[in-house]
Amino acid sequence: MVKTVDSEQMTERITRYYLMHRSLLKTLMKVGKMPLAQYHILSLLSENTSMRMGEISQLMAISRPNLTPLVDKLVALGYVQRIADDHDRRVTYISITQSGVDALENERKIVSESVSRFTDRLNDDERERLADALDTLTEISSRI
């Protein structure tokens, strides 16, 4: 028998999860030196050769005006570069530099060590269940 969950129950569960685990998630992701938004931008750019500002803002779910200072900071740090489109002057691509790749790799190591301190306390079954749940959350979130 399939159990249905109504909107009110879902809202309560999501809210409870968020409130209970917000501090844990923030702690796990704030161990490095890089702000999470910069980490997110560099991660996106490391997966794609280059991206337009609009693509990045859409994937990060932030407005382009809010994205601009984040990218400006990454340009100033030498982690990304702006590249003008040869065919359309209105279009600018953002790409990650080797310095950005190195900074992201270093940050990922720091975050990985932090996450490992948490996941090492789980048994194999718990780790597998958590991985499956995170995959499911990611997949569902990408469709919303």
> What domains does the chain contain, in order, with CATH numbers?
32-143 (1.10.10.10)
Please give the pLDDT value at position 112: 86
* pTM to 2 decimal places: 0.75
Q: What is the pLDDT of residue 30?
A: 64
Mean pLDDT by 10 residues, the chain (144 residues): 80 83 71 84 93 93 94 97 90 95 93 85 93 87 76
C-alpha to C-alpha distances, 78 to 22, 26, 37, 102, 118, nearest whole angstrom: 31, 26, 16, 11, 32
Residue 65: what pLDDT? 93
Strands (E), 23-101: 51-52, 80-84, 92-96
- Are the CB atoms for 111 and 40 separated by under 8 Å? no
The SS3 assignment for 5 reads coil
How far apart are alpha carbons 76 and 65 in whole angstroms?
17
- pLDDT in the model for residue 101: 97
Instruction: List the strands of the sheet with 80-84, edge to edge.
Output: 51-52, 92-96, 80-84
- Burial grade of 41 (CB within 10 A; 0-12, 13-18, 19 or more): buried
Instruction: State the pLDDT at residue 2.
Output: 67
